[in-house]
Amino acid sequence: MARRGDHAAAIGHYEEAVAVLGELGAVEDRLYAWVRQAQLRRLAGDPAGGAAVMARAERAAVAAGWPEALAMVAHGKADLARWNGEPDLARAELARAREVTRDVAVHPVFRAVVLDSLGYLDAADGGPEAARAHRAEALDLALAAGHAPTLAQVLVGVADQALRQDRPREAARLLAGALAVRGGPDHSRADAARVEAAARSALGARYAEHERWAGSAAGAPEAVRELARVTLDG
């Protein structure tokens, strides 16, 4: 539902999930549901509601005291702050996420999404080398994990990098690759919509030519990965 853009329905389902997971005692799953609900509320035009839900998630994470729980909420808060134009707060939350998990084994998928978020902040701050480094590491982790949604998310970040390097054709192909990896569009992430709009604006009618690339023989997964590496090599 969220991926299709039906944010209201998705928020309702997450609210139901929070109640059920609370009864089951599934703390981390409940925290994830809160974080996603908070982000979807922001995308649906309810930033105050999103902030309130995120605050509930943070209180629950602090009560649990688990590094993974604290890091999950910190990353969720960081992305909200980044989308709201608060880069300093976003960096502080990402630093917190990394600090609390410094001495524990962290799943590669989580490390990848944190690095992906850092890449956006670096790029916006005019730090292309740092952005490339963070995105290259995120790409390696996503590929190694074999988790399609995370790989698609990272490819969108690499497409953002391509746009900032004035390579909109690469960006369009990377976005098409992300679409193919994911199996469809994802309207639940603010970055994907923004990067796609920028690429379409840069290419105009030519965007469709590159959009079809991922579905062609040349757009095999290996080709998409190679294109991402070429982009990140500068």
Three-state SS at 68: helix
**CATH architecture of the domain with range 107-234:** Alpha Horseshoe (1.25)
Question: Which CATH code, of 1.25.40, 1.10.3470, 1.10.238, 1.20.120, is assigned to 1-104?
Answer: 1.25.40
CB-based burial label for 129 (10 Å; 0-12, 13-18, 19+): exposed
| Look-up of token digits 């995105």 | 135
The string of DSSP letters for 1-52 reads -TTTT-HHHHHHHHHHHHHHHHHHT-HHHHHHHHHHHHHHHHHTT-HHHHHH
Q: Where in the chain are all domains bearing CATH 1.25.40?
A: 1-104, 107-234
pLDDT, mean of residues 126-153: 93
Among 27-36, 122-131, 160-169, whose mean pLDDT is lowest? 27-36
pLDDT, mean of residues 46-59: 92
Q: Is the pTM of this model over 0.85?
A: yes
Q: What is the pLDDT of residue 15?
A: 74
Residue 217 CB neighbours (<10 A):
7
Q: What is the pLDDT of residue 134?
A: 97
pLDDT, mean of residues 15-27: 72
Nearest C-alpha neighbor of 170 from the set 183, 186, 178, 159: 159
Are the CB atoms for 146 and 181 separated by under 8 Å?
Answer: no
Q: What is the pLDDT of residue 8?
A: 65
Q: Look over the chain and give the mean of its residue pLDDT values, rounded to a whole number.
A: 87
Q: What is the pLDDT of residue 225?
A: 83
pLDDT class of 61 with cuts at 50, 70, 90: very high
Residue 97 has pLDDT above 80, yes or no: yes
Q: Please report, for residues 113, 119, 127, 132, 146, the alpha-carbon distance to residue 168 in angstroms, rounded to integers and kept in the order given.
A: 23, 18, 19, 16, 27
Q: What is the pLDDT of residue 196?
A: 94
Residue 178 CB neighbours (<10 A):
28
Mark residue 204 as left, alpha or beta (left: phi above 0; alpha: psi -120 to 50; beta: remaining).
left
Q: What is the pLDDT of residue 210?
A: 78
What angle in degrees, to the nearest 10, is found between the helix axes of 27-43 and 47-64? 160
Residue 13 has pLDDT above 50, yes or no: yes
Residue 4 has pLDDT above 70, yes or no: no
What angle in degrees, to the nearest 10, is found between the helix axes of 168-182 and 221-232? 140
Q: What is the pLDDT of residue 3?
A: 53
Residues 6 or more apart whose Cβ sits within 8 Å of residue 13: 1
Q: What is the pLDDT of residue 1?
A: 45
pLDDT, mean of residues 125-138: 94
Q: What is the pLDDT of residue 2?
A: 40
Report the distance separating Cα 230 and Cα 212, nearest Å: 20
Residue 88 has pLDDT above 90, yes or no: yes
Residue with more model confidence, 76 or 4:
76
Are the CB atoms for 39 and 81 separated by under 8 Å?
Answer: no
Are the CB atoms for 57 and 31 separated by under 8 Å?
Answer: yes
Q: What is the pLDDT of residue 220?
A: 56
